[in-house]
Amino acid sequence: SQQGEEDPQALSIQEGENATMNCSYKTSINNLQWYRQNSGRGLVHLILIRSNEREKHSGRLRVTLDTSKKSSSLLITASRAADTASYFCATAGDSWGKLQFGAGTQVVVTP
Amino acid sequence: EAQVTQNPRYLITVTGKKLTVTCSQNMNHEYMSWYRQDPGLGLRQIYYSMNVEVTDKGDVPEGYKVSRKEKRNFPLILESPSPNQTSLYFCASSWSSGEISYEQYFGPGTRLTVT
């Protein structure tokens, strides 16, 4: 069963615009992670946010976590064509070795 | 270079013919995991290992076996592959420390087709 669900499923924006995608989950978590995947290649870790954190930044990325709403958001600011990829959220629960991924948001950034 | 390697990268096989997909990491990570990725379903965890000789089931373990005899290697074994195991497989590893988990490093993937 999938824990995280991303929204929207697909997003098309122009270079320079911001991209926001959301992740909702069902049960309590130890941490939530965001990954990027380019066209069937391996996933690349972006940000890990722990259950006691509310916001984290990394370069042009900003992640928020609202445990009361069981949701997280990933914001990519000033997007570039190279940001075109699929983005996945993954949750680690109390048995933190188990990681559950959502189905992903496909982002296309056009020049 | 720190990396997770998988072999083979592509494999076409027939139903019932046992196969092994190897996974190796050079980062001295305690934790390793296998996932399969199917269109529209994201990644689903097959098995994971917290350390040598410690393995546990993920969400979709049926039809798969794993072993962790050495820290760096975590092979995935399909004893009798079936067409529904046609998928893109990823191995991943990460540090671990007690109850704290860390980001995972993924291999390049193995595309398996079972006819």
| Cβ pairs bridging A and B (under 8 Å) | 67
Whether residue B106 and residue A96 make contact (CB cut-off 8 A), yes or no, is no
Residue B84's φ and ψ, nearest 5 degrees, are -75, 0
Q: What is the mean pLDDT of chain A?
A: 92
Whether residue A101 and residue B44 make contact (CB cut-off 8 A), yes or no, is yes
Q: Residues of A near B (CB-CB distance < 8 A)?
A: 1-2, 30-31, 33, 35, 40-45, 48, 88, 90, 92, 96-104
Instruction: List, in order, residues 6 or more apart from A30 with CB less than 8 Å away.
Output: A50, A51, A92, A93, A94, A96, B99, B101
Whether residue A97 and residue B50 make contact (CB cut-off 8 A), yes or no, is yes
Whether the Cβ atoms of residue A34 and residue A87 lie closer than 8 Å to each other: yes
Report percent pLDDT > 90 for chain A: 76
Per-residue model confidence (pLDDT) at position B99: 65
Instruction: List, in order, residues 6 or more apart from A57 with CB less than 8 Å away.
Output: A63
Per-residue tokens: A13:
């924006």
Whether residue B90 and residue A43 make contact (CB cut-off 8 A), yes or no, is yes
Per-residue model confidence (pLDDT) at position B25: 97
Residue-wise pLDDT for A6-49, tens only, equals: 889 999 999 999 999 999 999 889 899 999 999 878 899 999 99
Q: How far apart are CA B43 and CA B45, in angstroms?
A: 7
Per-residue tokens: A11:
């997003």
Q: How far apart are CA A65 and CA A25, in angstroms?
A: 11
CB atoms near residue B53 (< 10 Å) = 10
Instruction: Sort out which chain A residues have CB atoms less than 8 A from B103's CB and list them.
Output: 33, 45, 48
Identify the band that residue A94 occupies on the pLDDT scale cut at 50, 70 and 90: confident
Q: How far apart are CA A109 and CA A82, in angstroms?
A: 8
B110 forms beta bridges with B89
Whether residue B101 and residue A98 make contact (CB cut-off 8 A), yes or no, is no
- For residue A98, pLDDT over 70 is answered with yes
Closest residue of chain B to A46, computed from CA coordinates: B103
Residue-wise pLDDT for B9-52, tens only, equals: 999 999 999 999 999 999 999 999 999 999 888 899 999 999 99
Closest residue of chain A to B108, computed from CA coordinates: A42
Per-residue model confidence (pLDDT) at position B98: 66
- Best B103, B105, B110, B111 member to test A by mutation, with max A CBs in 10 Å, is B103
Per-residue model confidence (pLDDT) at position A2: 54
Whether the Cβ atoms of residue A12 and residue A105 lie closer than 8 Å to each other: no
Residue-wise pLDDT for B59-100, tens only, equals: 999 999 999 999 999 999 999 999 999 999 999 999 887 666
**From the CA of B44, how many Å to the nearest CA of chain A?**
7
Residue B71 DSSP SS3 = coil
CB atoms near residue B45 (< 10 Å) = 23
- Alpha-carbon Rg of chain B, whole angstroms? 13
